[in-house]
Structure 1
Amino acid sequence: MTRARKGLIDLSSTSYYHLIARCVRRAFLCGEDKYTGKNFDHRRMWLVERIKLLSSVFSIEIAAYAIMSNHYHLVVKVNRQQALSWSGDEVISRWYKLYKGSPIVDRSLLGDTLSEVEELLKSELIEKWRARLYDISWFMKNLNEYIAREANKEDNCTGKYWEGRYKSQALLDETALLSCMAYVDLNPIRANMANKLEDSDFTSIQERIKQFQSSKANVKKPDQNETEPHIKQPTSLKPFGGREQEHTLPFSLLGYLKLVDWTGRYIHSKEKGYMSKDVPHVLASMKIEVTTWLDRVQNYGTRYGNFAGSQNVLRVHAAKNDVNWYKGAG
């Protein structure tokens, strides 16, 4: 049964969400089309560039992404508090980067004196725009409509480009967030589109690895006392830091890279024979069993529904929303 979007996105429960959208026509619209022989990889770059642009305008941060041949995955964090802290001028400036705005606001920007009623209307508009600038549905609408228009223009056709509304999944605890991010970053590995993380094109993990390698190469004399937070990370992605650091993902960058690399080596058919005896520190610190972790990442797409988390968290959230149960296992 289809659920109303307001029942799927509840910022009081979690600010992290997994988002998926899929093309409606023949497959490979964003990659190599087997029927026509045309390559559409440039459209995957359209998606990456648009996602980053929208993230810089909206108060929605990108934790992970993977642009596949006929669908894409995003893991985002909605930063509602940041949006509420913006001044009215900041809201107007951001909104005008994507939309035309309003004649009343235009007059105000030109220095015209507004009447009391017009000032009230302007304030109402600003608050409406503010709410939309941390709304996942507005973010996805702007992303998908833009890509659809550009693709239809290139194909010289009209009609649907996406199969339907995007799918969202609430990530209710840290384990769900970690496994979902790894699942998203390992998409090309699982699909046998890449053998190594470095070769996983159009993914956040590739972008993070390249930035990390570049950062290391630029350090002439590494300081042994230098801690991980000083490692440069992509500015367009939400940074890793750990629970101790505010405004970061609650994991260390090195720990996450090692975990995803370790998991990818097991998942990839050519390297299943290899399995390091050392359990990644992230799993040990979060008390996640190796077999549980591997099963969760490999079967993530079928294990959870619109909500992901431990059994206890899922039960609590279901009760909160007057639902008997949610699909998923902790």
Structure 2
Amino acid sequence: MPRPQRSEQFDSAEVCIVHVVQRCVRRAFLAGVNSETGVDYSFRKEWIRRRMEALASVFAIDVLSYAVMSNHMHQILRNRPDVCRTWSDEEIAIRWLKVFPGRRMDDHLAEPTENDVKMLVNNQERLAEIRGRLSDISWFMRALAEPIARMANKQDECTGRFWEGRFKAQRIVDEAGLLACSMYVDLNPVRAAMASTPSNCINTSAYDRMEARKGHRIESAAFELQPNSAEEAGREIRETSVDELAAKQRRKKRNPTGRRIPRDGWLSPLTLAEDQLSNNPLANSEGLRSSDRGFLNLAWSEYRRLLEWTANQKGGSTSSDVPKPLSRVLTRIGLEPSMWRELVWNWQRYFGKTGRIGRPDSLRNDAERSGRHHHRGQSAAATCFT
């Protein structure tokens, strides 16, 4: 069965949460150690994390969870057209031009100038199109995957496809499905025997949140949302060689704003507080992420205890051992405690080939809303939810 069209899965004008998976083609290695050649590509994980962090500062997309694996990567993304509507025309223009300036300087993107911003603002038809793209998950993934592929191919001294094809997308339709999917994503390195505990799962959202609570700070990869003046840009071009300009661009790319932030400062907050349930989009004012809205009705301490307990169940211990406090958390959100371990550790059995993730009643309602009789996987997942 062919994959559904993107327009059937999510709409850039509607807030929705999507689990996306992007895989490498053939035996290309995204990160980690290639068992056949012995080459270690682990450093590429930081390429991807920093690129996601940079894009989170300009797109109206919240990064809820992520994991970078050896030959694929997972993200749970929430598009925020409501946040995008709060940005002025000038903000839309500078955000877009930071990612897609339309011209290159050697191997680096040129910095947009004030004149570039004014020209785009004056083109209202083009600006309206761009406003829609800034809350479009497909454009976010395009801006993430394309430069990674270019850098990897250059390093591997080859050409052609690096990614398998278009990314796989699964819309998450309720909180129970979101908690299970987020746990599945954060525990991917443990499931793959790349790490023994969540605290060792480097380049996952859970690891970033844990390190941030230890006080770990990093150099921010967020774009500086200010254009260059036309005079300054002209002077640089006249007085600086191409090699010097490229070197300056590389230094600025490392930390464009000169700030150090908590390691999880670019991720969406985990806890959805009661005061966040209003229609206020809660746009982030620091230029680090789209918004300050959380996504789960549980505290980080509860999420971490559940994460660590679930990680310890990889040996197949019985589900009746779920501690009562965690069992109450699962029941409150709509998950069956006795099937929790089975759902997370055998995720592919229940949601590996589906286009939607959630409780059977939520899937049924979503199918009716979209004019379908049902969604694939409703029956298989029924025992995992209350």
Name the TM-score class by shorter chain: 0.7 to 0.9
Tell me if structure 2 keeps the 8 A contact 1:95–1:101.
no
Q: Which TM-score applies when normalising by structure 2?
A: 0.73
Could you tell me which amino acid in structure 2 is paired with residue 309 of structure 1? G
Map of 1:314 onto structure 2: 363
Map of 2:180 onto structure 1: 179
Change (3 A) 1:245 1:254: farther
Map of 1:163 onto structure 2: 164
Map of 1:97 onto structure 2: 98
Map of 1:278 onto structure 2: 324
* Secondary structure of residue in 1 paired with 2:348: helix
1:294 aligns with 2:324: no
Change (3 A) 1:29 1:237: closer
CA-CA distance at 1:324 after TM superposition: 2.2
Change (3 A) 1:13 1:255: farther
Unaligned runs of 5+ in 1: 216-231
Map of 1:244 onto structure 2: 274
Could you tell me which amino acid in structure 2 is paired with residue 313 of structure 1? S
Change (3 A) 1:187 1:112: closer
Could you tell me which amino acid in structure 1 is paired with residue 147 of structure 2? Y
CA-CA distance at 1:101 after TM superposition: 5.3
CA-CA distance at 1:161 after TM superposition: 0.4
Q: Distance in 2 between matches of 1:15 and 1:113?
A: 32
Tell me if structure 2 keeps the 8 A contact 1:303–1:327.
no
* Cα deviations by residue, 1:26-71 (Å, 9 ceiling, x for unpaired): 1544110111110001111111111111111101111110000000
Map of 1:64 onto structure 2: 65
Query: Is the deviation greater in 172-181 or in 252-261?
Result: 252-261
* Cα deviations by residue, 1:61-91 (Å, 9 ceiling, x for unpaired): 1111000000010011111100011100100
1:262 aligns with 2:309: yes
Change (3 A) 1:13 1:143: closer
Could you tell me which amino acid in structure 1 is paired with residue 362 of structure 2? V
Could you tell me which amino acid in structure 1 is paired with residue 323 of structure 2? K
1:15 aligns with 2:45: no
* Cα deviations by residue, 1:224-264 (Å, 9 ceiling, x for unpaired): xxxxxxxx882111002235141212332111111111111
* Secondary structure of residue in 1 paired with 2:171: strand
Could you tell me which amino acid in structure 1 is paired with residue 309 of structure 2? W
CA-CA distance at 1:8 after TM superposition: 1.1
Q: Distance in 2 between matches of 1:143 and 1:12?
A: 21
Tell me if structure 1 keeps the 8 A contact 2:64–2:78.
yes
* Secondary structure of residue in 1 paired with 2:269: coil
Q: Distance in 1 between matches of 2:35 and 2:116?
A: 57
Q: Which TM-score applies when normalising by structure 1?
A: 0.84
* Cα deviations by residue, 1:80-134 (Å, 9 ceiling, x for unpaired): 10001110010011011111259xxx999449998xxx97x61112111111111
Change (3 A) 1:157 1:213: same
Q: Distance in 2 between matches of 1:112 and 1:300?
A: 46
Alignment length (residue pairs): 305
* Secondary structure of residue in 2 paired with 1:157: coil
Change (3 A) 1:150 1:98: same
1:30 aligns with 2:77: no
Change (3 A) 1:154 1:256: same
Change (3 A) 1:99 1:29: closer
Tell me if structure 2 keeps the 8 A contact 1:52–1:236.
yes
Q: Distance in 1 between matches of 2:270 and 2:29?
A: 32
Map of 1:49 onto structure 2: 50
1:125 aligns with 2:155: no
Q: Distance in 1 between matches of 2:205 and 2:67?
A: 7
* Cα deviations by residue, 1:200-235 (Å, 9 ceiling, x for unpaired): 1111111111112338xxxxxxxxxxxxxxxx8821
Map of 1:196 onto structure 2: 197
Unaligned runs of 5+ in 2: 104-110, 217-261, 277-292
Map of 2:227 onto structure 1: none
Choose which of 264, 270, 278 in structure 2 pairs with 1:234: 264
Aligned-residue Cα RMSD (Å) equals: 2.7
CA-CA distance at 1:2 after TM superposition: 2.4
Q: Distance in 2 between matches of 1:156 and 1:125?
A: 37
Tell me if structure 1 keeps the 8 A contact 2:13–2:81.
no
Change (3 A) 1:233 1:178: farther
Tell me if structure 1 keeps the 8 A contact 2:19–2:76.
yes
* Cα deviations by residue, 1:288-322 (Å, 9 ceiling, x for unpaired): 32122222212222312110111111112112222
Change (3 A) 1:129 1:262: same
Could you tell me which amino acid in structure 2 is paired with residue 41 of structure 1? S
Q: Distance in 1 between matches of 2:376 and 2:65?
A: 23
Map of 2:376 onto structure 1: 327
Identity among equivalent positions (%) equals 33
Tell me if structure 1 keeps the 8 A contact 2:12–2:136.
no
Could you tell me which amino acid in structure 1 is paired with residue 274 of structure 2? E
Query: Is the deviation greater in 7-16 or in 70-79?
Result: 7-16
Change (3 A) 1:13 1:142: closer
